[in-house]
Every structure is written in C-alpha cells, then in structure tokens.
Amino acid sequence: MMRAFLVLVGCLVAASAFAQSLPTPSPAQDRLKALSGDPVALRAAVDAGKKATFFCANCHGDDGISKTPDVPNLAGQNPAYLLEQIRKFGAGERKDAFMQGLIKVLKDEERVQVATYFASLPVRPSAADAAQVAKGKVLFERLCVRCHGEQARGNEAIARLAGQKLPYLQTTITRYRDRTGVRNNQLMSIATAGLKNEEILALANYLTQLP
C-alpha cells in the first residue's frame, strides 16, 4: 500500500515538474518547431548558429563542451529546453549578469540558431569511478528518473543530465539541496534534500558517463 502511494506521489511530482517547466509559448519556439519539419532550413539554422555562438565558446567551448566546472555542457541538450533557458536569462528569470547582458542583444532568430546549433553537437561522456557509478544508478532510479528519463536525456521541459561534467553536476545538485538561491527549483530542492555529499558524488559519477 505504501509503495503504491509513493509511486503515485512520484508520478504527481513528475507531472507537476513537467507542467511547470514547459517552454513559454513564443514566436521563437514556433520557429524552432517549424525547423524540425524542414531539414534544409534546420541545416541552415545550425550553420548560422555556429557563427552566432562565437562568443559563447569562451565558456561553453567550440564543441559545446564546457571549459570550466561551473558552466554546463550545451552539446546535445534539447533545443526547446535551451531556447527556454535563453529566454529566461533574457527576461531576468535566471540570474547571471554576464549571460543576461549577452543574451539581450540576440534577436529571436539568433536565439533559435544558437539553440539548434548546440543541440546538434555530439555529447562527450566522461570517465567515472565504477563503484560510484553503481551507487549513483540506484539513487538516480529512485530520485531522478521520473522527470529526467531513464537515460537522463530530459526533454523540452527538463534538462539533459547525461554526459555533463562531474564538477558541474556535483556543484549544481549541492546548490539545489542547500537552497543557496543560486539555483531555485522547489521540486529539485525537495528531491535532493536528503542527499549526503557522498551520494551527490555518486550521482554525478553516474550521470557524467552516460552517452
């Protein structure tokens, strides 16, 4: 009985997380959807995005693989999710003075191009400690799979975690758990609330090695 109740609660939390995180309808999101049905236009957008991201490469890398522990990989991330995060930075809903200033100068079409370019890049998983991976897998299946998916690849509303760098994962999960204000998400704070530091390390090891 209790197990069934917990499963139900988990499903409700996952549904709530998805509903709260869905991209805000916008002309840019409409444009992105239209590109998915037009391979020629999509290729052109990706090519244009490569040029538009020249400044992004300073932190996120030419190949979408981050150069610093505090910056996420963008390679292989869902394009609609990326576009929504770009919108949030531009609107001040996500706080980072550098990102906000950079994104405000981008037109809608350029934002779409940036999102499609990074989404098109291959993910590059990292090596991880096998014992930690085994522990992290158990934790992921218990706490994370309902929202982030069995392969941790997310969707248009939820971030892809597979293949992120270990230090970034470790830092971000810790910030959610500790409610530092740097990363604000009530559902993530609830999901990570009981995690010990060693469990966060195990989760990060599991996620970083996923393709």
Q: Check whether 1 has a pLDDT greater than 60.
A: no
To the nearest whole number, what is the mean pLDDT of the chain? 91
Q: Which fold has domain 22-120?
A: Cytochrome Bc1 Complex; Chain D, domain 2 (1.10.760)
Q: Check whether 187 has a pLDDT greater than 50.
A: yes
List, for residues 51-91, the tens digit of each pLDDT value.
999 999 999 999 999 999 889 999 999 999 999 999 999 99
Q: Check whether 2 has a pLDDT greater than 70.
A: no
List, for residues 117-143, the tens digit of each pLDDT value.
999 999 999 999 999 999 999 999 999
pTM of the model: 0.88
List, for residues 147-172, the tens digit of each pLDDT value.
999 999 999 999 999 999 999 999 99
Position 76 scores a pLDDT of 98
* Alpha carbons 74 and 78: distance in angstroms, whole number: 9
The domain covering 130-208 belongs, at the CATH homologous superfamily level, to Cytochrome c-like domain (1.10.760.10)
Q: What is the 3-state secondary structure (H, E, C) of the chain?
A: CHHHHHHHHHHHHHHHHHHHHCCCCCHHHHHHHHHHCCHHHHHHHHHHHHHHCCCCHHHHCCCCCCCCCCCCCCCCCCHHHHHHHHHHHHHCCCCCHHHHHHHHCCCHHHHHHHHHHHHHCCCCCCCCCHHHHHHHHHHHHHHCHHHHCCCCCCCCCCCCCCCCCHHHHHHHHHHHHHCCCCCCCHHHHHHHCCCCHHHHHHHHHHHHCCC
Q: Where are the domains of the chain?
A: 22-120, 130-208
Position 20 scores a pLDDT of 54
Topology match between the domains 22-120 and 130-208: yes
